[in-house]
């Protein structure tokens, strides 16, 4: 697996979560956060005006595997104390801006756009779920092949609420069959990181064609002795924004997450 830009110190030690955020604040981290600050939880982010945030929160409650909310800010407050010394104006490597549901560009920070009615949401991310799988000794053979996962639109609809609606977007990673069983067992103990897979095996059963991803990290490949394993994906939130068409919204850019001080061990549930 390739390290993210700035992932390693000169002496080879991984950066801490705070150091990753500090580099993002200074504009020194603009790549993927995959593998950054091992053991720390990474988050998808959505930021909306307060009125839209209330409607969006209702949609999240109805779709907890898609949008497992770990923290929500007060209106106008860019901090998320539950996740550490986080500032939503600066701490992501990049932000995607939406106007009336359409993506209109990417930003390095929100310093000039933050207003006193903005509300931020942070959701568990499958990058952290991968971290949990590694820690549990589940082999991620696909990494050795240069593949870091792919995301797909499915034929499954999320539960709509107050104008927010979307097809379920999923991330896919291939596993040997025995390893897939172990991945299911480990991930079900992390419901706030999307939890257990929503589907294992035949992609056509959920309306997915493996050669037609929305995005991928590396070349896609499922070997003959492997099965594709699909988890709900936080990118679904951006599709919900497109459907609801709020006047403005900001999100993370795919694969460039908010790296928090929260530890994976804090989210492990013995009985999920």
172 DSSP β-pair partners? 150, 230
**pLDDT tens-digit map of 1-27:** 333 334 444 334 689 999 999 999 999
Model-wide pTM > 0.95: no
| Per-residue pLDDT, 270 | 66
Cα dihedral 208, 211, 216, 217 sign: positive
Q: What is the mean pLDDT of residues 15-43?
A: 95
| Per-residue pLDDT, 192 | 96
Q: What is the mean pLDDT of residues 72-101?
A: 98
| Per-residue pLDDT, 10 | 31
Q: How far is 154 from 204, CA to CA, in rounded Å? A: 9
| Per-residue pLDDT, 1 | 30
Q: What is the mean pLDDT of residues 60-72?
A: 97
Instruction: Kindly state the greatest CA–CA separation across the chain.
Output: 54
> Above pLDDT 90, what percent of the chain?
88
Structure tokens at 223: 């070997």
Indicate the DSSP class of residue 74: P
Classify 79 as helix, strand or coil. Answer: strand
Domains in the chain, CATH or no CATH each? 41-125+244-260 (3.40.1640.10), 127-236 (3.30.2040.10)
* H helical segments located in 124-176: 126-135, 141-144
Q: Give the CA distances from residue 5 to residues 14, 43, 171, in Å, rounded to whole numbers and listed in that order.
A: 12, 18, 23
Q: If you average pLDDT over every residue of the chain, what do you get?
A: 93
| Per-residue pLDDT, 17 | 97
Structure tokens at 206: 């959920």
Residue in the structure block whose two tokens are 């979307």: 166
Q: What is the mean pLDDT of residues 97-116?
A: 97
- Determine how many CB atoms are found less than 10 A away from the CB of residue 123: 25
């Amino acid at each position: 697996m390739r390290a993210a830009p700035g992932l390693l110190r000169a002496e080879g030690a991984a950066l801490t979560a705070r150091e990753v955020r500090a580099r993002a604040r200074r504009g020194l981290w603009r790549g993927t956060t995959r593998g950054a600050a091992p053991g720390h939880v990474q988050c998808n982010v959505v930021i909306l005006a307060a009125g839209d945030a209330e409607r969006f929160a209702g949609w999240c409650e109805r779709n907890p595997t898609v949008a497992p909310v770990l923290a929500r800010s007060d209106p106008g407050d860019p901090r998320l104390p539950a996740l550490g010394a986080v500032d939503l104006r600066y701490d992501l490597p990049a932000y995607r801006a939406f106007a009336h549901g359409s993506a209109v560009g990417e930003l390095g920070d929100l310093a000039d756009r933050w207003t006193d009615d903005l509300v931020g949401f942070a959701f568990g991310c499958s990058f952290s779920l991968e971290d949990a799988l590694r820690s549990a000794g589940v082999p991620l053979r696909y990494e050795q092949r240069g593949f870091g996962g792919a995301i797909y639109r499915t034929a499954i609809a999320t539960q709509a609420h107050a104008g927010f609606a979307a097809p379920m977007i999923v991330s896919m990673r291939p596993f040997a069959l025995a390893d897939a069983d172990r991945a299911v067992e480990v991930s079900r103990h992390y419901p706030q990181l999307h939890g257990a897979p929503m589907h294992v095996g035949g992609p056509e059963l959920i309306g997915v064609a493996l050669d037609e991803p929305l995005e991928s990290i590396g070349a896609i490949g499922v070997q003959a002795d492997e099965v594709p394993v699909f988890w709900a994906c936080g990118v679904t939130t951006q599709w919900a924004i497109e459907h609801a068409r709020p006047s403005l919204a900001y999100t993370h850019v795919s694969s460039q997450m908010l790296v928090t001080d929260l530890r994976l061990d804090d989210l492990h549930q013995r009985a999920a």
